[in-house]
Amino acid sequence: METPSACWDNWVGEALETLYSLKVLRSLRPICLRSSQPREFGADDDAFQVFDEMQHWDRSSVEVEIAETTFSRWMHDTPSSGDEIVCSATGGDGEAGASYEKFKKLILFSGNDYLGLSSHPTIGKAVAKAAQEHGMGPRGSALICGYTNYHRLLESSLADLKKKEDCLLCPTGFAANMALMTAIGSIGTLLAGNSIPSEDEKIAVFSDALNHASIIDGIRLTERQKSVKVYVYRHCDMSHLNMLLSNCRMRKKVVVTDSLFSMDGDYAPMVELADLRKRHGFLLVIDDAHGTFVCGKNGGGVAEEFNCEKDVDICIGTLSKAAGCHGGFIACSCD
């Protein structure tokens, strides 16, 4: 008789074979970090706080190296977990620095570091200074001891940027979308006395067909609560959305959309969405991950670009793209 662990090994193996046959088994292609020049942060770093021309550090975030073994696996569509880099880096016997790996130089066109801030010396200096003064990590969750005055200052600054009353930081933009959609769904449950709401008490969520996976996952999680009814409208099709809204008899309506769709590079029809919001009275939620700090006169995002910030009720954003860092946020009113 097979042991439980052996059974699980077989089941997982069969599942992986299925994923491989469907060509949906993802591989890791580790980029090798190389520092071409040691960075010296001096007193003249303040001179770089205003961008006026390309500098040598702007190239470091797009000119990268990849091991030839990894490149070969990539070109032949061979599954990879990146282990070959670990073996190479240790020389195969655990001795670090014994690598004779050859590398290929690549230029990245797929990154999200739109403003090049991840490699900017002023940012690096600020990060190093903060780490020296305050250490690393929050030392606990925000509810316990991990929420500091710096978090509050950042939230206030992001709220001002988005022209909203307040802001909540999240670990990632993905987490922000998941948290928001779950919170919206919980409203129906709470108003129904912590029970499953009736059809009239449920929340109608209208989602663009090409919304980001984090929005879709958040909606699916909310559906498990049986507190929402989901309508998917054709991508950026305002006539279809208007028809769905007009035929929906539910009072609580939410429309959620990416503001700038990363796969196709097109904007959501913000002006038309604002008009529909006035007509149907729904809550408008946008995921402005790719527009924040990039679009608009002040970097306020896509809503600022189309002059409809007042028509957006909730704005989701991320700090891992144009900001060149890590994290996510939800900006909205205080109520």
pLDDT digits (tens, 9 = 90+) for 86-111: 655 554 444 444 455 688 899 988 88
**pLDDT of res. 97:** 46
Q: Tally DSSP H helices, then E strands, for the chain.
A: 10, 9
With pLDDT > 70 as the criterion, what percentage of the chain qualifies?
89
Residue tagged active-site, from 259, 321, 326, 333: 321
The mean pLDDT of 235-239, rounded to a whole number, is: 98
**pLDDT of res. 98:** 41
Residue tagged active-site, from 207, 290, 310, 333: 290
Residues 6+ apart with CB under 8 A from 329: 155, 158, 167, 168, 169, 170, 176, 316, 317, 318, 319
The two structure tokens encoding residue 330: 């939800």
262 is catalytic: yes
Give me the residue label for tokens 């696996």: 73
**pLDDT of res. 138:** 80
Q: Is 80 exceeded by the pLDDT of residue 223?
A: yes
151 is catalytic: no
CA distance 312 to 52: 33
pLDDT in tens, 141-200: 888 999 999 999 999 999 999 999 999 999 999 999 999 999 999 999 999 898 899 998
CA distance 302 to 308: 9
pTM, to two decimals: 0.87
Q: Is 60 exceeded by the pLDDT of residue 277?
A: yes
Residue tagged active-site, from 229, 240, 262, 280: 262
What residue ranges do the domains of the chain occupy?
19-122, 141-332
240 is catalytic: no
Half-sphere exposure of 306 (CA within 13 A, CB side): 19
With pLDDT > 90 as the criterion, what percentage of the chain qualifies?
58
Q: Which of 7-16, 21-30, 240-249 has the highest mean pLDDT?
A: 240-249
**pLDDT of res. 326:** 92
The mean pLDDT of 300-306, rounded to a whole number, is: 98
Q: How far is CA 256 from CA 23, 47, 283, 317, in A?
A: 31, 41, 8, 13
Q: What would the CATH number be for the domain defined by 141-332? A: 3.40.640.10
Residues 6+ apart with CB under 8 A from 174: 213, 214, 328
CA-nearest of 182, 260, 272 to 219 is: 182
